[in-house]
Amino acid sequence: MPLWCQDEAGPYQAVPQAGSAWQPEGAPARQPHEYVRGGTAKLLTLFRPFTGEVRAKAVTHTTNAVVHPWLQQELTAVLAALPPVTDPEAPVRQWETWGWDEQVRTEWGLSEPLPPIRLLLVWDNLSGHKNRDLVRWLTSHGILPLYTPIGGSWLNMAESVQRILVRRALAGQHPQSAAEVMRWLEAATAGWNRDPTPFEWGGKRAARRQRARERRHQQGGSGAYTRRRIPRRTRLEAEVVNRNSQVK
């Protein structure tokens, strides 16, 4: 089943941005000392981790009046490209499997039968994402919204790809206006989609962390670790030491 992640990133100001630059050694890039407010821009992102595809739009505001129509438009295009559901009775396609029982449907005012689930949408636990009209639109199209827990927005992988896109677009640059920031963000998104990178939980970094944990040795059941194993006396060695101490 396709899974997409949605998030809003920003704001990003039209001011000199920190980052690396191709300057000769000893001749760093000099930025103007005046603080000029050139406006801010934000980035709406819809990301599919399995393929790495990103659907994004740079905007100046992220109110419900801006986010909801854009999201509906993009999700409609995504659904149009999906094949029909071959097994509508599969448990994974049923709303009850995901906790949307009759009580939950009543809370959202969903009295009519819902279609089989076609797509999972992960996004942050914000009040704007729980707009009743928007949730009704999602469920009527077979889209199951999955909200990250409070304080767990890092579970939304859209934030990961946003950091990459923003770094590619703005690092070391000095945009002069919000419109320029928006153009650079959308250009970085287009460049990403020419050769997208799939995302997955874990991967090589998680494997390295696991190997590092295996090389450490926990001490006394506490949070302290050592890089090498501390030799411990066996029972026979302890008896020999005790016997020798008694002889002395």
Asked whether the predicted pLDDT for residue 217 surpasses 90, the reply is no
Q: How many CB atoms lie within 10 A of CB 54?
A: 22
pLDDT for 38 equals: 75
**Amino acid in the structure at residue 103:** Q
- pLDDT tens, position by position, 60-110: 988 999 999 999 999 999 999 999 888 988 998 998 888 888 888 888 888
Domain ranges of the chain: 3-16+34-194, 203-247
Asked whether the predicted pLDDT for residue 180 surpasses 80, the reply is yes
Whether the bond into 196 is cis, omega within 30 of 0: no
pLDDT mean over 174-179: 86
CA distances from 191 to 22, 107, 168, 174 (A): 20, 43, 10, 20
Q: The pTM is what?
A: 0.75
Q: Name the superfamily (CATH) of residues 3-16+34-194.
A: Ribonuclease H-like superfamily/Ribonuclease H (3.30.420.10)
Crossing angle for the helix pair 158-170 and 178-194, to the nearest 10 degrees: 120
